[in-house]
Every structure is written in structure tokens, then in C-alpha cells.
Amino acid sequence: MNLRRTFSLLFFFLWMVGGHYAFAQQPNIIFIFADDWGYGDLGCYGNQEVATPNLDRLASQGTRYTQFHVTSGVCSPSRSSVLTGHFPAQHHIHGHFAGNAVNARRNMPNWLDETLPVYLPRQMQQAGYTTAHIGKWHLGGGGKPHGDPTAPEPKVYGYHETRVWNGNGPTWKGDQLWPTTRYMDDDTVWIQNSSRIAVDATIDFLDRHKGKSPMFVNLWLKDPHTPLAPTDEQRKPYKGLEPDKETYYAVLTDADHHIGRLMEALTAMGLDDNTLVIFSSDNGPANYAPARLAGSTAGLKGRKADIFEGGVNVPLMMRWPGHIAKAVVDSQTVLSTVDLLPTFVELAGGTLPAGYEPDGETFAGLFDKRPFTRTKPLFWEWRFPYLGSDPYRQDSWATLAVRAGSWKLLANKNRTRIELYDLTTDPFEKKNRAKSKPSVVSSLLSQWDGWKANLPE
């Protein structure tokens, strides 16, 4: 009897250790995706006017990257690539989801196709994660006339819990669905408190599920997308600045404050050591007020709705104690939102089904101190160039772009204008090398044509 009991206890001990080891190897993952937060809208990216102490601290506790690219200069296509691991054109997502008539003119569906076999949260669920989407959605739905109230709720894409705006399903008002007004423009309380509300919901989700399973959260902030209506208290640090900066900076600092609250909550819950926290943005700063004057690209060319670097090269910082270097600025590694799905699934110990091929590459090795060298090119398609006289939109002419290695090519639709840049030596895209490097131009155009040929019409 004693021998049997000894073996039983030994088996139980080994099972517990094995289970704990497997759990420890599955990090909690929190992906914070801000809206229109420019590359230069952070202290740690060189902005000396705006206070972002919590994000600066996050960067100092992990690694900050200077070459992280989203797949579009606008919201919905950029966000779709996070969930699908594909460039948005593969799923007909050419611009932001709007009303059905506008979507039809753009040759777009009214929402992200929920029948696709692979979505990031779905794969995380299959790997044993409890999943949540909190904050902005903007992948279909949201009420007439700016969305389709019949669009599926985000839960069908693989989430156990959701609290969204710009989409269907439960909102921050509990089970109340998204109203028919666009972006809740009439709700000043929400506008002033959207970051607090989203972080509160995230902390609540983490607190309820901690210790039960690994957790995956897409925390997609509304800020600093318009409308902006900071309170007098939020404006205080910036009194005396020009009005647009006062407004914009107040919103950035408020969002930063609530991200700091989230980080404090992780510590209080004992989740610090096994949680990967990532901060980024869906595209560059807006080209309309107040961001057109206050939002910063830190000198990068272009802005939101452009496929130059100012529109698609966005902040990225990653923190996971013991797994990624602290206080490091990585200016060599080229990453993209299409890389997130294969990376997160690998970190989760999950698998991708046969037949699914991500457009991105896993960079999970970075968390094991292994370098990542990109082998796949990056592609951009933009169908809505601007050819007017607005001085803030003069970089909106390009309709296609491709990056391979250090070279990036941009062109208009009929290719009468082509620009080529070596981003290693010219990150601000100032010296057009197209005439002096015809073989590079030819190679990149050929790669783009090959990619385009395999897209749906």
C-alpha cells in the first residue's frame, strides 16, 4: 500500500510539474493596438513635447523597434492582417469598412469573412488560451449608415469575450449593442474615457481568468483617433501650447496613463514574468486636425493613408521579462503585422492547419535570443490615391509598394512615377534611386506583379 501510494504521489508530482512547465511556456499575450498613433508620438521615439512615461518605461523594460510595418496606411486593412496573417488585398479589404454602398464601390465585402479557417484568436483558443477582444473592432458592423448591423459579432472569429466599439456585439455598456451613431460621436463621456474603459475591461478579464489558463487579449484603443474631447484635467499639462497640440497631447498622455495602470495590475496579479506585452499602432498619424499639426512621424515621409514610411512604419515595443532584451533599440529587424499570427501561435505551442500559408514569418525566436532575418517581401496596395493640392497629402499618390531587403519601391497605377529607396541608409525616403538602380526596380516590380497575379479580383 505504501509503495502504491508513493508511486501515486510521484506520478501526481510529475504531472503537476509537467503541467506547470507547459503552462509556463505559454505566455499570456496582450497586444495593445492604438489608433492613428504616429511613430513620433512617444517620448522614447524622440518627441520632447509629449509625456508618455509609462510607454517609455515599457520600452526601457523591453525592446523598441524602428522597422515595424503595418500592411496599410488606414485602419481596417491594417487590422485584418493581424487576425489573418495575410496582406489585406487577399481578402478584398482595400480601405476602411464603411457603409454597404461605399464598400461596394470599393469592391469590398461588408465585413471580414468569418468563414475563413484560420484566425489568430481561433488558433489561440485551440492552443488552450482564453481569448478576449476589447476596444475598437472596425472589421465590419457597427450600425447603419456606417456599418452593417447584420455583421457577425467578433466572438465568431475566436474570442471567448468581447467588449467592442465600431463593431457588433456587447459594448462597454455591458450587453448593449453598438448604437447606430458613427464612432459614438455624440457620447462625450465615452470619447473622454475610452482608454480608461478599455483598460478597465482588460484588467477585469485578466483578474477573472488568471491562473486558470493562458490568456490572449487584443486591446485595441480608440485613441488618438478623432473625435477628441479631452477634459480640462487631461489638458492641464499642455496649457499654453497651440490648441491642436494641447488637445492631441492630452489624449496621448491620458492613454499612456491607463496603459500604466494595466502594467501595474499585471504586477499586482503576479502576471508580470509570464506576460508578453506589445504596443503598436494601426497606421501613421492622421492628415486632418488636430493630428495634422500635432501628430508626428519623427520625420518619416507621409502620414495616414500613405504607403510611405510615415503611414506604415509605426511604433513597436515588446516586453517579456527574461525573454527579450531590456532597454534595447533594434533598428535592424524588419517586422510586420502579418508576422504576428504565426509568431503568437508558435509561442502558444499551437499549430497552423495544412493548406494555410501566412504572408508573414514567425519571429518567435527573438524571445529565445535568436536573431530574425526577414526572407519574405512586404507588399502594399492602395487604391485611393490623392492627387489634389492639400499640402498635407502630397505623399498620397502611390498605389503600390514593395519592400525586399533594404529596398523599397513605390509607384503609381500606370507606373509613370516610380521611386526607389534604400531604407538602411535613407529611412526618410529622400533620395530616389530608381534611375540609378534599374535592375532593382525591375526585380521589385516583378515581385509585386507576381504577388498581384495571385490575388482575387
Residue extents of the structural domains in the chain: 28-375, 398-453
Give the per-residue pLDDT at 11.
Answer: 37
Q: How far apart are CA 111 and CA 119, in angstroms?
A: 14
pLDDT confidence band for 96 (50 / 70 / 90): very high
Whether residue 176 has pLDDT greater than 70:
no
Q: In degrees rounded to 5, what are phi and psi of residue 406?
A: -90, -5
Residue 208 three-state SS: helix
Q: How far apart are CA 187 and CA 180, in angstroms?
A: 12
User: According to CATH, what is the number of the domain 28-375?
Assistant: 3.40.720.10
pLDDT in tens, 187-197: 788 889 999 99
Other Cβ atoms less than 10 A from the Cβ of 453: the count is 7
Q: How far apart are CA 427 and CA 430, in angstroms?
A: 8
Q: Integer distance in angstroms from the first to the last C-alpha of the chain? A: 72
> Does residue 5 or residue 133 have the better pLDDT?
133
Whether residue 86 has pLDDT greater than 80:
yes
DSSP string, 260-292: HHHHHHHHHTT-GGGEEEEEEESSS--SSTTHH
Give the per-residue pLDDT at 175.
Answer: 58
Which candidate, 290, 212, 285, places its Cα nearest to that of 248?
Answer: 290
Average pLDDT over residues 209-213: 97
Residue 328 three-state SS: strand
Whether residue 19 has pLDDT greater than 50:
no
Residue 298 three-state SS: coil
Enter the C-alpha cell of residue 284.
501613421
Give the per-residue pLDDT at 14.
Answer: 38
Give the per-residue pLDDT at 15.
Answer: 33
pLDDT in tens, 297-340: 999 999 999 999 999 999 999 999 999 999 999 999 999 999 99
Give the per-residue pLDDT at 174.
Answer: 60
Backbone φ/ψ region at 369: left (φ over 0), alpha (ψ -120 to 50), beta: left
Give the per-residue pLDDT at 144.
Answer: 67
How buried is residue 7: exposed, middle or buried, by Cβ count under 10 Å (0-12/13-18/19+)?
Answer: exposed
Average pLDDT over residues 224-249: 96
The number of C-alpha atoms within 13 Å of 35 and in the hemisphere containing its C-beta is 24
- Under 8 Å between Cβ of 272 and 320: no
Q: In degrees rounded to 5, what are phi and psi of residue 410?
A: -130, 145
Alpha helices of 269-399 — where are they, by DSSP H? 291-294, 309-312, 340-347
Whether residue 180 has pLDDT greater than 70:
no
Q: How far apart are CA 109 and CA 94, in angstroms?
A: 10
User: According to CATH, what is the number of the domain 398-453?
Assistant: 3.30.1120.10
Q: In degrees rounded to 5, what are phi and psi of residue 352?
A: -100, 140
What percent helix, strand, coil does the chain show, rounded to 5?
Answer: 35, 15, 45
Q: What is the DSSP letter of 160?
A: S
Q: How far apart are CA 393 and CA 409, in angstroms?
A: 19
pTM score, whole prediction:
0.93
pLDDT in tens, 401-433: 999 999 999 999 999 999 999 999 999 999 999
Average pLDDT over residues 238-252: 98
Which candidate, 35, 33, 54, places its Cα nearest to that of 223?
Answer: 35
DSSP bridge pairs for 19:
none
Q: How far apart are CA 381 and CA 453, in angstroms?
A: 13
Average pLDDT over residues 29-41: 99
How buried is residue 65: exposed, middle or buried, by Cβ count under 10 Å (0-12/13-18/19+)?
Answer: buried
State the virtual CA torsion across 421, 424, 430, 433 in degrees, nearest 10.
-30
Give the per-residue pLDDT at 410.
Answer: 99
For the chain, the C-alpha Rg in angstroms (whole number) is 22
Cβ neighbors of 131 (< 8 A, separation 6 or more) are 121, 124, 125, 158, 159, 160, 161, 215, 216, 217
Which element (helix H / strand E) includes 67? strand 63-69
Q: What is the DSSP letter of 152?
A: P
High-pLDDT (> 70) share of the chain, %: 91
Give the per-residue pLDDT at 190.
Answer: 83
pLDDT in tens, 101-113: 999 999 999 999 9
High-pLDDT (> 90) share of the chain, %: 83
Whether residue 9 has pLDDT greater than 50:
no
Give the per-residue pLDDT at 165.
Answer: 87
Given CA atoms 267, 268, 274, 275 in this order, what sign does their dihedral have?
negative
Give the per-residue pLDDT at 18.
Answer: 37
Q: How many helices (H) and strands (E) does the chain have?
A: 12, 13
Q: Tell me how many degrees the CA angle 395-138-72 measures, rounded to the nearest 5.
A: 30
**Average pLDDT for the chain:** 92
Which candidate, 157, 181, 142, places its Cα nearest to that of 80?
Answer: 157
Residues, the chain, total?
A: 457
